[in-house]
């Protein structure tokens, strides 16, 4: 492991060209001398003293507030994601025994390995929350230190930690001390454009707090989702720490995933937006199977997703939650704008299912096959009222 550079020389030492996966030329950066990468190779997360977690491949499904509900995570696992993350959970909510927040900690048996993501600023509350996460049966505790959403940042949590490294280390340390689960942290590059703060904070989180893995989304908080994630920083971070690093940002297909691993040396890649309403992107990433689904397959998978979501939350919440998914699932040639619009206007999820199956009757046998082969989570014979995050867009 290379020595940690001091903050002063961090601003000036990079000689690396940016790695922009959104540009068509990113592959030109490969020299051919990179080590072979294998997205199917298992690896382990867990430093000494923690219960190590075996992960059977290199593709993680990103935590996404307002998206990564249990149905999304289970579907991601079914399509090949090797590890999944929950939406971020407020530790204050857990502390005040807010039932809805507690329900975030419900985990189905087929989600493992899974990390529950927490956000907060008070080390004592983080400690207690980490213990609750361990009791829930999660495999890892992840801490959000990148969310740029105002509601989160103004409390000092999420991306605000990128500007307060001592507090970030204290918060991470509290979670490490609370249980024997590995603690992982998700960061952005820094608050401001061009920031390289991740390169000082990341090593401190590992060396001083004892965290077991890092995820970096190398955009600044100010950037939100504009521009590109500069994975040259991922490569620099990898050199500075001796724990696995997940690369997050603009990883949409297998080519990008393999190039990112080869160019940065990261241990694993994380897919977020590309997987929204598109589990086939996860399948491509995890197995290299790039076959575009037929319309019937999309419809069957969407109907099954709707059914699972309506077991997670009451009808009224499900209706609102699901609307964004209709557009995501039904992109592509076979679906018209009018049909997507119709779906938005239907009032119940049952009406949506009927609409879809009457327009695409060939989806019926595929749906029946899904219903036959993919079981519902063990504890959801009735509505279990899992909550959906109110903090969109981490």
Instruction: Give the footprint of ligand FMN on this chain (CB under 6 A).
Output: 62-67, 87-88, 117, 144, 146-147, 186, 217, 248-251, 271-274, 392-394
**Catalytic (active site) residue 198:** no
Strand partners, 296: none
* CA distance linking residue 57 with residue 54, whole number of Å: 9
| Peptide linkage before 113 cis (omega within 30 of 0) | yes
- Beta carbon nearer to ligand FMN, 91 or 271: 271
Per annotation, catalytic residue among 147, 159, 198, 266? 147
Residue 32: CB atoms within 10 A of its CB come to 5
Give burial (CB, 10 Å; 0-12/13-18/19+) of 344.
exposed
Beta strands in the chain (DSSP E): 43-45, 53-55, 59-61, 83-90, 114-119, 140-145, 183-190, 213-220, 245-248, 268-271
CB of 257 to ligand FMN, least distance (A): 10
User: Which residue lies nearest ligand FMN, judged by its C-beta?
Assistant: 394
* Cβ-based nearer residue to ligand FMN, 273 or 340: 273
Q: Minimum distance between the CB of residue 393 and ligand FMN, rounded to whole angstroms? A: 5
CA triple 13-15-19, angle to 5 deg: 120
Q: Which is nearer to ligand FMN, 326 or 360 (CB)?
A: 326
Nearer to ligand FMN, 374 or 390 (CB): 390
CB of 286 to ligand FMN, least distance (A): 14
Work out how close the CB of 156 gets to ligand FMN at its nearest, in angstroms, rounded to a whole number.
16
Closest CA to 62 of 256, 219, 270, 325: 270
- Residues composing the chain: 394
CB closer to ligand FMN, 188 vs 304: 188
Least distance in angstroms from the C-beta of 361 to ligand FMN: 33
Give the residue among 226, 225, 227, 237 at the shortest CA–CA distance from 263: 237
Q: Any idea which residues carry the catalytic annotation?
A: 147
């Amino acid at each position: 492991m290379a020595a940690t550079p001091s903050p002063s020389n961090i601003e000036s030492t990079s000689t690396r060209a940016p790695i922009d996966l959104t540009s068509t030329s990113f592959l030109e950066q490969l020299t051919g001398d990179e080590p072979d990468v294998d997205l199917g190779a298992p690896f382990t997360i867990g430093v000494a003293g923690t219960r190590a977690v075996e992960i059977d491949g290199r593709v993680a499904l990103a935590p996404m507030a307002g998206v990564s509900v249990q149905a999304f995570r289970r579907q991601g696992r079914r399509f090949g994601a090797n590890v999944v993350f929950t939406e971020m959970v407020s530790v204050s909510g857990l502390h005040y025994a807010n039932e809805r927040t507690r329900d975030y900690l419900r985990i189905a048996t087929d989600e493992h390995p899974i990390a529950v993501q927490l956000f907060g600023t008070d080390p004592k509350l983080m400690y207690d929350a980490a213990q609750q996460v361990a009791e829930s049966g999660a495999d890892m505790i992840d801490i959000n230190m990148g969310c740029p959403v105002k509601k989160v940042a103004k409390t000092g949590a999420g991306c605000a930690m990128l500007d307060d490294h001592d507090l970030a280390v204290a918060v991470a340390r509290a979670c490490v001390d609370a249980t024997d689960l590995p603690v992982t942290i998700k960061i952005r590059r820094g608050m401001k454009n061009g920031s390289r703060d991740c390169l000082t904070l990341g090593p401190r989180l590992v060396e001083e707090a004892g965290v077991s893995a890092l995820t970096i989304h190398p955009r600044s908080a100010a950037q939100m989702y504009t521009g590109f994630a500069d994975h040259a920083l991922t490569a620099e971070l990898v050199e500075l720490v001796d724990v696995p690093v997940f690369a997050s940002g603009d990883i949409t297909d297998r080519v990008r995933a393999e190039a990112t691993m080869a160019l940065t040396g990261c241990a694993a890649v994380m897919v977020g937006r590309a997987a929204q309403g598109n589990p086939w992107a996860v399948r491509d990433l995890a197995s290299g199977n790039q076959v575009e689904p037929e319309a019937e397959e999309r419809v069957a998978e969407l109907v099954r997703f709707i059914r699972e979501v309506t077991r997670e939350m009451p009808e009224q919440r499900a209706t609102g939650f699901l609307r964004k998914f209709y557009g995501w699932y039904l992109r592509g040639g076979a679906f018209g704008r009018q049909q997507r619009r119709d779906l938005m206007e239907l009032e119940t999820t049952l009406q949506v299912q009927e609409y879809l199956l009457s327009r695409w009757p060939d989806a019926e046998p595929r749906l029946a096959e899904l219903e036959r082969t993919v079981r519902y989570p063990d504890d959801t014979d009735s509505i279990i009222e899992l909550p959906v995050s109110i903090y969109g867009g981490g």
